[in-house]
Amino acid sequence: ELWTSFRGRRMGGRELPLPPGYKGVLLHGGEPGEPPLCEPGDPQASWVTVTGSFGAITDWGADAAPLPGRGLARALQWGPLAQAV
């Protein structure tokens, strides 16, 4: 369990691994007026760039850590189930 506070309120968290075969990514779309990272006229000029990745996410709850098997932990079970169907 993890503990922190946000705006003076205590929060408990639990780190949840992403399902096998899933990966979280961090995307960067650039700032307005910033030149794109590709050649002018390139159809990919409006695409985003992957700047990082992660394999786990933290589920936070107010005043207590979320219970295992509930909330976000339960939602993460649907990916493998959907693939099986």
Q: Which structural domains are found in the chain, ordered by start? A: 2-29+48-83 (2.40.128.680)
pLDDT per residue over 3-54, tens digit each? Answer: 999 999 999 999 999 988 889 999 877 666 666 566 666 665 566 778 899 9
Provide the pLDDT for residue 1.
84
Provide the pLDDT for residue 73.
83
Q: Which residues make Cβ contacts (< 8 Å) with residue 80, sequence separation at least 6?
A: 19, 20, 21
Q: What gap in Å lies between CA 14 and CA 33, rounded to an integer? A: 39
Is a pLDDT exceeding 70 seen at residue 65?
yes
Q: How many CB atoms are located within 10 Å of the residue 11 CB?
A: 17
pLDDT band at 75 (very low <50, low <70, confident <90, very high): confident
Coil, strand or helix at 76: coil
Q: Which residue has the higher pLDDT, 31 or 83?
A: 83
pTM over 0.75: no
